[in-house]
Chain A
Amino acid sequence: MKLDPFCAEQGGSGEPCAPSFLEILCDRGFRWLTFAAGGIVISLGLYIIFEIGSAAVPAMKDNGLGFFVSTTWDVARNEFGILAEIWGTLYSSLLALLLGGFFGVSIAIFFTQGYLNHRVAQVFRSIIQLLAAIPSVVYGLWGIYVVIPALRPVASWLNEHFGFIPFFGTKLSGPGLAPAVIVLAIMILPTVAAISQDAFKQIPYKVKEAAYGMGTTRREAIMLVMLPTAANGIMGALVLGFGRALGETMALAMLIGNANQISLSLFSPAKTLASLLASNFPEAGAVEVSALMYAAVALLIITVGVNALGAFIMSRSKRQEAI
């Protein structure tokens, strides 16, 4: 095989030459390797979805779409519904996102916009990163032994004086939404903070110069220029944080109280899809397992939907500022 139609010699003469036969083989091999790796992951994902889906089929036949609007979970009467869990999942994740998103983005601003000495910022950054390494169970225990006792007096005071506001409508008797949300917010904080920091760091220096060159104060530079410029990345950070919150299982199962009810009150116990799966699965019979699989499908749809929405928002805002 003639590799280089332009030159007789095959390398070593100081002239340009074609890649060697071996290099071409490796190049092809490498391509197949990447295809294979990608293919395995995708088929694994599809297989899991298929397995869950087929296990859920009996429950789908029994409960139909009523599954999504009913709040009964009665094993004895074989009646299942997950409206309360869907509510609990979305409500707790949204509250955690509000809290964790606010602090995550604030931390990112604090670390990247020249408020801190470079070294100190580095130390703080590592500490925040460390939060991501703490196992979920530890968060759960911390929630039970620290957050709940600390929250109880605050909750009862709020309930006493502001009980007419639906958010404070009940007392915190033990586990409940508020401690779960606080712990969840801390758990998504490293994700939100790290990705928002990247978004801020990716802003070219010339943008910062442009802002200060117009005579902005630091606050104006951050609020009017840096934040809008980093908006895409921050949006991505929030979507990823929300995704994490939706699927978080262990800490929530320990803290949220697992009560099958819909309430606006921050102090009443609730239940999420993931905590439902975690707490009911070990002792479930065949029929209930199928219903749990149906709930898993619902959770999957929600997370995929949220991520797709995030991707859509980001691609749209990216197109708007096409270079």
Chain B
Amino acid sequence: MKNNMTKTTPLDAMEQTTGVPTEENQIAIDANIEAIYYGKFRAVRQSHVPIRKGEITGFIGPSGCGKSTVLRSLNRMNDLIPTFKMKGHVHFMGQDIYDPAIDPVVVRRHIGMVFQQPNPFAMSIYDNVAFGLKINRFKGDVNQRVEEALREAALWDEVKDKLHSSGLALSGGQQQRLCIARAIAPNPTVLLMDEPCSALDPIATRKVEKLMHELKKHYTVAIVTHNMQQAQRVADTTAFFSVDISDGERCGYLVEMGKTEELFEDPKQELTRKYIRGEFS
């Protein structure tokens, strides 16, 4: 295990290669999902979801259509669920992250995640942000990197005088921004966010949205949202998922994906049009 992480991983190796910006290397994560199962239940069927580099990709769709399932399969978070089974390939930096040779731990260090519920650790604000630096054996100036991450997460001014008090003593919105700072401190390539604003009030939501525009300068972001206005405000590309209730099973799939304005103004699929008009949810 240790060995696996000290030597240059295939993922690291790919980072060095810089080529002509073809359509191919504009894609940070290329998810070719054949099917995702929880035990016998097929939660998601055939869907191709490319996440473009340096952009924000929004996932929208009715509840239970598999948005979270797809998002979590992009950094192998779903491996925590014993019944989870993935068929298909998810390419990240030229590697299939579901290749048995690849350690999910390494994948999650390169592809960070922010969850629906703020979940800071029961430690100080400083230690929360420095956590990822510690496990990634960061050699530089930890204080400086912590400050940078907190600034990037638009939280620095609110906490700079109490860095050593508990992260759990912050408000919900502050906790969520702390979790964002914790996720970006070790410099992941991609940041996955699963409804990061659903536990927040409108003001905190706006703050986090504004923050996302800053984040995309340095990171590729994929975000699940229930809120179509939010998708329109933040996402460059939007993916619309729906659920197929046909043969007695509820199976989610990607309906269509495209530039956000195009998808909202002129959707190609009738289903998308209906959903955007609010005709079903």
Task: List A residues at the B interface (Cβ < 8 Å).
Answer: 204, 206-217, 220, 224-225, 228-229, 231, 320-323
Smallest Cβ-Cβ distance to A232: which chain B residue: B122
A209 contacts which chain B residues (CB < 8 A)? Answer: 77, 80, 115, 119
Q: Which residues of chain B have C-beta atoms less than 8 A from A211's C-beta?
A: 121
The segment out of B105-113, B229-237, B249-257 that lies at the interface is: B105-113
Is B13 on the interface with A (CB-CB < 8 A)? Answer: no
Write the nearest CB–CB distance from A227 to chain B, whole angstroms: 10
A212, B80: Cβ atoms closer than 8 Å: yes
Q: Is the interface of B mostly helix, strand, loop or mixed?
A: helix
Count, A-B residue pairs, CB within 8 A: 72
Q: Is the CB of A210 within 8 A of B121?
A: yes
- A217: chain B residues at CB < 8 Å are 1, 105
Question: How far, in whole Å, are A206 and B108 apart by their CA atoms in the complex?
Answer: 16
Instruction: Decide: B80 and A208 in contact? CB cutoff 8 A.
Output: yes
Q: Is the CB of A224 within 8 A of B119?
A: no
A214 contact from B117, B169, B182, Cβ within 8 A: B182
Can you list the 9 inter-chain pairs with the closest CB atoms, starting with the nearest?
A215-B109, A215-B108, A210-B119, A206-B119, A213-B113, A229-B122, A321-B166, A321-B168, A206-B117
> Using Cβ atoms and an 8 Å threshold, which residues of chain A touch B1?
217
Q: Which residue of B lies closest to A204 (CB)?
A: B119
Check B80–A321 contact: CB distance below 8 A.
no
With A210-B119, A212-B77, A220-B135 known to touch, is A323 a contact of B108 (CB < 8 Å)?
no
In the complex formed, the residue of B with least CB distance to A211 is: B121
Q: Judge whether B183 is part of the interface by a CB distance below 8 angstroms.
A: yes
Which interface residue of A204, A206, A212, A231 has the most chain B CB atoms within 10 A? A212
Shortest Cβ gap from A143 to chain B (Å): 40
Known: A210-B179, A215-B132. Is A228-B115 also a contact (CB below 8 A)? no
A210-B121, A212-B108 are known; give 13 further A-B pairs, CB within 8 A.
A207-B119, A209-B115, A212-B80, A213-B108, A214-B132, A214-B135, A215-B105, A215-B106, A217-B1, A217-B105, A229-B121, A320-B166, A321-B169
- Assess whether B228 is interfacial by the CB under 8 Å rule: no
**Residues on the B chain within 8 Å of A216, using CB:** 105, 135
Is B102's beta carbon under 8 Å from chain A?
A: no
What residues of A have a CB within 8 angstroms of the CB of B121 in the complex?
207, 210-211, 225, 228-229
